[in-house]
């Protein structure tokens, strides 16, 4: 394809080269848009560089696919959303130009077939999807797919994402005494004043440079410098201060959360800052408001501030024949800007009589200036060519190539509203204004309603002084508190920061809002919300249909729900609805503002996120043995040890069965480090454990272990484990893997409630543990043990001993969870791997294999042992789980005692029952949580089920009412199976094998 060298690069730049304070004309950059090559300068944004080369169409609108161009140049409208490289939905005015940048529009620009919708607007009013496209039945399913493809803006292209290397996103915490949001005149003044007074200040500015919309010469920043001292030559910053003031440009405060916690998005560094501020001064400025008239969305129609910004920052002249529609001094200042470039604008003013100061400023320039103007429409094909207006009853047409609107401002108070400040409509001045400020938040500059530079400076300095005073006294308060005695009650810090809002009367004329910039036209297309393509008729229809409060209008018409979140549409929408409903705008109100105030990429939210992981010291050995790991809380545990990668489901079953049979027939070893361990010390250790668990422990002998069952205050089963007594004043409690944190917290809580002499410490990570189980366990361990006699007489079942295993100091417990002769060995965490290695080496003679969690679950099921959380739920009482034997009837108190009593008296209706099924069902097993039915009603559910290789039939546990002989289990498919109820345990009912 022939490369087109665009010959009109930068034809819209200011030839005198006086303007363009942000660009460096010596450094030219080339870039692409829609495949065409353009040239811009260092310091340009993508939008300004395109505007400089005469590009006026950036996108097509959401609904009607109308051509759209620069409007607010402030991320207050979606006209300029483009895709750059792989990233969709970027505001062109926020994209810094760089060499080789490649940008694309996100809709077809030149010729867009969907533009036909523009002529079908009568059939697509607001809320059309509530009333149409769903007949015949099922039609919506097809239409929805069409609409989903047509709606939406940017597209995330997987191919493009794969092509460009994914950048890394990061997060960091920050801590400041004062955060000033916004680096315009007000923000810079407040920040430097506060820093000079010694307050640790952060100034956050979303553009790449400070200065904001500083329309006054001396605040215009020079292009190559970025230091604050050069920004404000009139004020000197003393040496040694920089540490007190930190400046972040290219960073936007996106959310203000409780207690002045700010989310600041720094896109260029791809970092999300989470900043805690003791006080916040918001200087975010104001959004200029548009006028609503027919075809007000034509490319070339823009806000006056956009035109001024293009000229001052980037040296771009928006038109040679401009028309300015203005009701305040800003429009007249723009007229003076044009005159300075040698261009004569036409000034149209809706105010009935000339405003003296404004009129005087342009008096000597002999330009066309009219008052009492009512706009009729903008005309042009794809671009503005003229403006039709009504002046004193007669229609006039003004040919033009640019129309600039200046009819007022609304405070950019999003952060403040997030922080709980209130905005209200001031009927006298026809503008939105802050009514109240929350604690610790302050507003300066245009967001507070001040526009005159002298007033802004004065107010910003005063605010900074107030804040600095309060922060310094808080500093001394804190150091005093720290020096006093500890553990004294912390009183709420006195000295709430006083907020100062300027009185409404101070807000000057320069920003005067025109009360009615809405000009409806019989043929429509007067856009209130450009993002959503909403016309005045849409709001009219909404009110007529009965959706007449602002909350309903918003949701029914989607006013303000687009990307710009009502920044250019909310106030005019409010005015229109106020007129339609004849309701006072102050009473109508606006909807809540929620974060984010800045667009946040998903990477920003996902970058550097933390998910703690806990690993046993033997983990390396498990992965080396090829174990399949499973997640248990924050731990990783080996589920089973497959001999090869990727076994099939059937192969997995046989691996697990093989591991289980090895334990039954010879010896196996499992890593039980994840089980919780808590050391309870002190005179009252046994009394304490007595009160927390159901059974009795005061008389437990040293050297013995006893089952632990914990219930919560309502008597519901919470956790279980084993209590080992190593000394009269030392008990060691074990907990389930998932319960260790909760049990430890509960122990700490109850310890603080009672006046017992007891100390509790969480030893879960202090010990690594293995359970060696099987008929050869004793034989195998004897060779490795020192200082402990493993014989049956010396170390009976449910005994605990201390000694050495493979040279490691160990606590040995004889417990029977899996139903075989077994020893649970707890050694110091740092010695876990050494112990595992020694046991694996030594155990080769008995063909000892490691077994995983799956095999352990199977083995315990064969013994009918419950697993908390699987065989119990949030309501299970001990007696329902057949654990009534572990509940003491004689103790005066334990947690849950009375509720258990009450409910046992009432009667226990369901119990955990053991059942079996013949082996032929093993390929279509009922699942855990399949229902147990009785006479068409739900009687209970299956909690555990598995095929037992030892017993060669299927065994399981289920809840069911008593006095049944069989269980009617309903499978997922609807089929039912009759299971035989058998007493527990299924395997070795006398428990002889674990007691040998």
Partner 1 sequence: MKLMPCPVHGERNIAEFVCKGPVLSMPSATHGSPQLWARYLFLAENKAGIIDEWWLHTASGMWFVARRDTTCDEILQTWSIEAYRKERRKKQKTTAQR
Partner 2 sequence: MTAFLSRRRSALTPRLCDLGATFAPFGEDSSLVESFSAKTREARQSPSAPPLLLCDLSPLARIGVKGQGTESLLRASALVAPKATNESVVQKDGSLCVRLAEGEVLLLSALASKGVRDFVPLHKNLESASSASNKRRQVFPVAYQDSLCWLALAGDQASDLLATLCAVDLRDGIFAPGALAQTSLARLSALVLRDPARRKGVPLFHLLADSASALYLWDCLLDAMSVPELDGSVCGRQDLLRFLATPPSRKRQRPL
By CB under 8 A, what part of segment 451-510 binds partner 2? 486-487
Which of 169, 635, 640, 987 touches partner 2 by CB under 8 A? Answer: 635
Least Cβ distance, residue 761 to partner 2 (angstroms): 5
- Taking the least distance from each CB to partner 2, the nearer of 488 and 889 is 488
As a whole number of angstroms, the distance between CA 807 and CA 90 comes to 64
| Interaction between residue 763 and partner 2 (CB under 8 A) | yes
Sheet holding 676-681, edge to edge: 705-711, 717-727, 730-735, 676-681, 759-762
Q: Report whether the peptide linkage leading into residue 426 is cis, meaning its omega lies within 30 degrees of zero.
A: no
- Taking the least distance from each CB to partner 2, the nearer of 133 and 829 is 829
DSSP 788: -
Least Cβ distance, residue 808 to partner 2 (angstroms): 7
Helix (H, G, I), strand (E, B) or coil at 477: helix
Tell me how far apart the terminal alpha carbons of the chain are, to the nearest angstrom. 88
* Locus of tokens 């007595």: 690
Which of 28, 85, 516, 759 touches partner 2 by CB under 8 A? Answer: 759
Which of 36, 98, 496, 608 touches partner 2 by CB under 8 A? Answer: 608
- Taking the least distance from each CB to partner 2, the nearer of 252 and 876 is 252
195, 281 in Cβ contact below 8 A?
A: no
As a whole number of angstroms, the distance between CA 741 and CA 718 comes to 12
As a whole number of angstroms, the distance between CA 820 and CA 669 comes to 12
Q: Is the dihedral of CA 104, 110, 114, 117 positive or negative?
A: positive
Query: Which 3-state string (H, E, C) describes 823-861?
Result: EEEEEEHHHHHHHHHHHHHHHHHHCCEECCHHHHHHHHH
Residues 6+ apart with CB under 8 A from 48: 23, 40, 93, 310, 313, 314, 316
x/- track of binding to partner 1 for residues 262-301 (CB under 8 A): ------------x-x-------------------------
Helix (H, G, I), strand (E, B) or coil at 621: helix
Q: Do you know the residue count of the chain?
A: 996
| Interaction between residue 833 and partner 2 (CB under 8 A) | yes
As a whole number of angstroms, the distance between CA 93 and CA 35 comes to 19
- Taking the least distance from each CB to partner 1, the nearer of 262 and 286 is 262
Which of 61, 557, 762, 994 touches partner 1 by CB under 8 A? Answer: 762
As a whole number of angstroms, the distance between CA 351 and CA 371 comes to 6
566 binds, among partner 1, partner 2, none (CB under 5 to 8 A by kind): none
- Taking the least distance from each CB to partner 2, the nearer of 278 and 513 is 278
Which of 893, 923, 936, 973 touches partner 1 by CB under 8 A? Answer: 893
| Interaction between residue 868 and partner 2 (CB under 8 A) | no
Least Cβ distance, residue 269 to partner 1 (angstroms): 22
Q: Which of 715, 718, 717 lies closest to 905 in space, CA to CA? A: 715
| Interaction between residue 645 and partner 1 (CB under 8 A) | no
As a whole number of angstroms, the distance between CA 310 and CA 872 comes to 68
- Taking the least distance from each CB to partner 2, the nearer of 85 and 833 is 833
The angle subtended at Cα 995 by Cα 991 and Cα 996, nearest 5°, is 120
Instruction: Return the structure tokens found at 669.
Output: 């070893």
834 binds, among partner 1, partner 2, none (CB under 5 to 8 A by kind): partner 2
As a whole number of angstroms, the distance between CA 74 and CA 212 comes to 11
752 binds, among partner 2, partner 1, none (CB under 5 to 8 A by kind): partner 1
By CB under 8 A, what part of segment 488-507 binds partner 1? 488-492
- Taking the least distance from each CB to partner 1, the nearer of 86 and 714 is 714
Q: Is the dihedral of CA 829, 833, 837, 843 positive or negative?
A: positive
| Interaction between residue 315 and partner 2 (CB under 8 A) | no
616 binds, among partner 2, partner 1, none (CB under 5 to 8 A by kind): partner 2
683 binds, among partner 2, partner 1, none (CB under 5 to 8 A by kind): partner 2
Instruction: Return the structure tokens found at 727.
Output: 């000394």
| Interaction between residue 612 and partner 1 (CB under 8 A) | no
| Interaction between residue 996 and partner 2 (CB under 8 A) | no
Q: Which range touches partner 2 (CB under 8 A), out of 571-579, 704-712, 787-795, 829-837?
A: 829-837
| Interaction between residue 842 and partner 2 (CB under 8 A) | no
Which of 147, 175, 257, 754 touches partner 2 by CB under 8 A? Answer: 175
- Taking the least distance from each CB to partner 2, the nearer of 624 and 963 is 624
Sheet holding 24-33, edge to edge: 36-42, 24-33, 102-105, 81-84, 87-91
Neighbours of 441 (CB within 10 A): 23
Which of 727, 902, 929, 996 touches partner 2 by CB under 8 A? Answer: 727
**Number of residues lying near partner 2 (CB under 8 A):** 52
Burial status of residue 367 (CB atoms within 10 A of its CB: 0-12, 13-18, 19 or more): middle
| Interaction between residue 899 and partner 1 (CB under 8 A) | yes
- Taking the least distance from each CB to partner 1, the nearer of 420 and 783 is 420
- Taking the least distance from each CB to partner 2, the nearer of 331 and 832 is 832
744 binds, among partner 1, partner 2, none (CB under 5 to 8 A by kind): partner 1
| Interaction between residue 762 and partner 2 (CB under 8 A) | yes
Burial status of residue 250 (CB atoms within 10 A of its CB: 0-12, 13-18, 19 or more): middle
- Taking the least distance from each CB to partner 1, the nearer of 239 and 485 is 485
614 binds, among partner 2, partner 1, none (CB under 5 to 8 A by kind): partner 2
| Interaction between residue 107 and partner 2 (CB under 8 A) | no
Exposure class string for 451-481: b at 16+ Cβ within 10 A, else e: bbbebbbebbbebbebbbebbeebeeeeeee
As a whole number of angstroms, the distance between CA 674 and CA 828 comes to 13
Which of 128, 133, 140, 261 touches partner 1 by CB under 8 A? Answer: 261
| Interaction between residue 248 and partner 2 (CB under 8 A) | yes
x/- track of binding to partner 1 for residues 956-995 (CB under 8 A): ----------------------------------------
Q: At what angle do helices 550-557 and 570-581 cross, to 10 degrees?
A: 120
User: Which residues are registered as beta bridge partners of 910?
Assistant: 961
Residues in contact with partner 2 by CB under 8 A are 170-175, 246, 248, 273-274, 276, 486-487, 608, 610-617, 620, 634-635, 673, 679, 681-683, 727-730, 757, 759, 761-767, 807-808, 828-831, 833-834, 837
Q: List residues near partner 1 by CB under 8 A.
A: 257-259, 261, 274, 276, 486-492, 713-714, 744-745, 748-749, 752, 762, 892-894, 897-899, 902
């Amino acid at each position: 394809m022939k490369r087109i060298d665009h010959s009109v690069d930068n034809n819209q730049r200011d030839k005198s080269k006086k303007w363009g304070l942000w660009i460096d004309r010596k450094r030219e950059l080339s870039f692409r848009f829609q495949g065409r090559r353009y040239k811009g300068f260092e310091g340009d944004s993508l939008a300004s560089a395109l505007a400089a080369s005469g590009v006026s169409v950036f996108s097509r609108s959401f609904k009607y696919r109308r051509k759209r161009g620069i409007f607010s140049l402030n991320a207050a409208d979606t006209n300029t959303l483009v895709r750059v490289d792989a990233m969709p939905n970027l505001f062109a005015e926020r994209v810094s130009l760089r060499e080789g940048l490649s940008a694309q529009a996100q809709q077809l620009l030149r010729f867009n077939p969907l533009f036909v919708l523009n002529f079908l607007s009568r059939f697509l009013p607001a809320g059309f999807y509530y009333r149409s496209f769903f007949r015949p039945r099922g039609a919506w399913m097809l239409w929805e797919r069409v609409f989903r493809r047509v709606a939406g803006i940017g597209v995330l292209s997987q191919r493009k994402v794969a092509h460009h290397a994914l950048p890394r996103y990061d997060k960091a915490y920050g801590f400041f005494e004062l955060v000033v949001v916004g680096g315009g005149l007000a923000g810079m003044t407040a920040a430097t004043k506060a820093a000079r007074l010694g307050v640790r200040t952060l100034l956050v500015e979303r553009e790449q440079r400070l200065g904001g919309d500083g329309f006054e010469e001396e605040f215009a920043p020079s292009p190559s410098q970025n230091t604050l001292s050069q920004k404000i030559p009139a004020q000197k910053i003393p040496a040694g201060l920089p540490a007190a003031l930190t400046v972040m440009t290219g960073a936007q405060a996106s959310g203000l959360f409780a207690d002045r916690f700010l989310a600041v998005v720094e896109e260029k560094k791809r970092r999300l800052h989470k900043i805690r501020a003791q006080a916040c001064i918001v200087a975010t400025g104001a959004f200029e408001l548009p006028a609503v008239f027919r075809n007000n969305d034509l490319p070339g129609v823009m806000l006056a501030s956009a035109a001024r910004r293009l000229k001052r920052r980037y040296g771009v002249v928006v038109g040679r024949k401009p028309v300015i529609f203005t009701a305040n001094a800003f429009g007249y200042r723009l007229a003076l800007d044009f005159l300075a470039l040698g261009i004569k604008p036409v000034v149209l003013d809706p105010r009935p009589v000339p405003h003296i100061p404004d009129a005087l400023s342009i008096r000597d320039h002999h330009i066309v200036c009219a008052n009492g103007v009512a706009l009729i429409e903008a005309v042009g094909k794809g671009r503005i060519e003229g403006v039709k207006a009504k002046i004193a009853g007669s229609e006039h047409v003004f040919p033009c190539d640019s129309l600039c609107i200046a009819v007022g401002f609304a405070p950019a108070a999003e952060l403040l509203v997030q922080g709980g400040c209130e905005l209200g409509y001031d009927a006298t001045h026809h503008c939105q204004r802050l009514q109240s400020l929350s604690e610790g938040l302050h507003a300066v500059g245009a967001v507070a309603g001040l526009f005159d530079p002298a007033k802004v400076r004065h107010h910003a300095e005063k605010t900074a002084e107030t804040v600095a005073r309060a922060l310094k006294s808080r500093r001394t308060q804190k150091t005093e508190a720290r020096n006093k005695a500890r553990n004294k009650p912390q009183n709420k810090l006195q000295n709430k920061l006083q907020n100062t809002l300027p009185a409404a009367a101070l807000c000057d004329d320069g920003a005067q809002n025109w009360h009615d910039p809405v000009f409806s036209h019989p043929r429509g297309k007067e856009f209130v919300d450009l993002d959503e393509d909403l016309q005045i008729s849409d709001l009219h229809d909404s009110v007529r249909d009965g959706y007449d409060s602002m909350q309903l209008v918003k949701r029914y018409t989607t006013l303000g729900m687009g990307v710009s979140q009502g920044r250019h549409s909310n106030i005019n929408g409010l005015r229109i609805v106020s007129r339609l409903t004849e309701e006072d705008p102050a009473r109508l109100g606006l909807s809540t503002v929620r974060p984010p105030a800045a667009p946040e990429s998903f990477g920003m939210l996902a970058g550097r996120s933390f998910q703690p992981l806990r690993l046993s010291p033997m983990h390396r050995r498990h992965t080396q043995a090829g174990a399949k790991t499973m997640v248990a809380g924050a731990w990783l545990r080996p589920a089973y040890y497959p001999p090869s990668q990727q076994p099939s489901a059937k192969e997995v079953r046989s691996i697990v069965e093989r591991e289980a049979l090895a334990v039954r027939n010879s010896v196996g070893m499992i890593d039980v480090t994840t089980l919780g361990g808590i050391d309870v010390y002190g005179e009252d250790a046994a009394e304490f454990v007595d009160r927390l668990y159901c059974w009795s422990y005061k008389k437990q002998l040293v050297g013995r272990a006893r089952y632990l069952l914990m219930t919560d205050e309502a008597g519901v089963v919470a956790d279980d484990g084993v209590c080992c007594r190593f000394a009269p004043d030392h008990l060691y409690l074990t907990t389930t893997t998932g319960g260790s944190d909760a049990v430890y917290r509960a122990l700490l809580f109850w310890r603080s409630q009672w006046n017992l002499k007891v100390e509790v410490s969480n030893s879960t990570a202090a010990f690594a543990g293995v359970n060696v189980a099987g008929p050869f366990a004793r034989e195998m361990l004897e060779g490795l043990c020192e200082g402990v006699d493993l014989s049956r007489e010396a170390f009976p079942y449910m005994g605990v001993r201390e000694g050495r295993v493979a040279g490691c100091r160990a606590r040995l417990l004889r417990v029977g969870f899996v139903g075989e002769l077994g020893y649970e060995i707890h050694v110091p965490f740092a010695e876990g791997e050494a112990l595992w290695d020694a046991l694996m080496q030594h155990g080769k003679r008995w063909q000892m294999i490691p077994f995983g969690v799956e095999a352990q679950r199977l083995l315990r099921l064969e013994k009918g042992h419950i697993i908390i959380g699987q065989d119990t739920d949030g309501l299970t009482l001990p007696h329902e789980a057949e654990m009534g034997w572990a509940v003491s009837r004689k103790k005066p108190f334990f947690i849950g005692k009375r509720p258990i009593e009450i409910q046992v008296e009432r009667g226990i209706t369901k119990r955990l029952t053991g059942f079996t099924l013949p082996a032929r069902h093993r390929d279509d097993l009922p699942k855990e949580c399949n229902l147990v039915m009785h006479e068409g009603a739900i009687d209970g559910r299956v909690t555990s089920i598995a095929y037992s290789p030892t017993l060669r039939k299927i065994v399981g546990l289920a809840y069911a009412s008593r006095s049944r002989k069989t269980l009617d289990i309903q499978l997922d498919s609807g089929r039912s199976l009759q299971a035989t109820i058998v007493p527990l345990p299924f395997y070795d009912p006398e428990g002889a094998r674990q007691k040998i």
